[in-house]
Amino acid sequence: MRFVDFLKATVMLSGGAATALAVVTVLAASEDADTVLVLVIAGWWVVAAIVGAVLGRRAHTNPPITRLLAGARSTTTLPEQQPSRLLLNRLWPLFLSTLLAMGLALVAPQIPGIATGFAMVWALAWRRQDAAVAAIEDRDGVAFYVEPTSPLSPMRLVRTPGFRREMTPVAPNGHAPG
């Protein structure tokens, strides 16, 4: 699976987890008719959205992704392509924490509410990383793929030849120089 696609899927699945957790939180809190809990959790969601938006405003790769790209080994063959297995293999902590928080909503509705905020931060903080990696791929003429590994081992990437994109330079006024 291309690393760019993996990053997009991570953002979408994190956003989906946040949405599912928010629904469970609202349903659990409405059963208890606890307005204070609803207001506190809504405040946390606003804070989480702001934090995620601030963390994700950068247009360049964050340091962990930079290290991952720099450590990618070069190859001329594509790694095994099983996207659903790879997503489950790499994102199992997200799936497990989402299911656990949903289950704990029966005991305490604030637990999925708190987890919703963290899923929101994650989704918003990583929302522009795929574009940054795609820009590096276009510039260097390579494609990065996620290498299948054990679920408990660190992620590894492989670098394969891609198509280099020649771009026309743009002057500050928005027109091509010349």
Once rounded to an integer, what is the mean pLDDT over residues 140-166?
86
6-21: per-residue pLDDT in tens? 999 999 999 999 999 9
Among the ranges given (10-19, 93-102, 148-157, 160-169), the one the predictor scored with the smallest mean pLDDT: 160-169
Size of the chain, expressed as the number of residues it contains: 178
**Phi, psi (degrees; rounded to nearest 5) at 75:** -155, 160
pLDDT at 168: 60
CA–CA separation, 7 and 15 (whole Å) = 12
Residue closest to 46 by CA, chosen among 128, 126, 124, 102: 124
Q: Domain map of the chain by residue range?
A: 3-161
Strand order in the sheet with 156-161: 73-74, 156-161, 142-147
pTM (2 decimals)?
Answer: 0.84
69-109: per-residue pLDDT in tens? 999 999 888 778 888 999 999 999 999 999 999 999 888 88
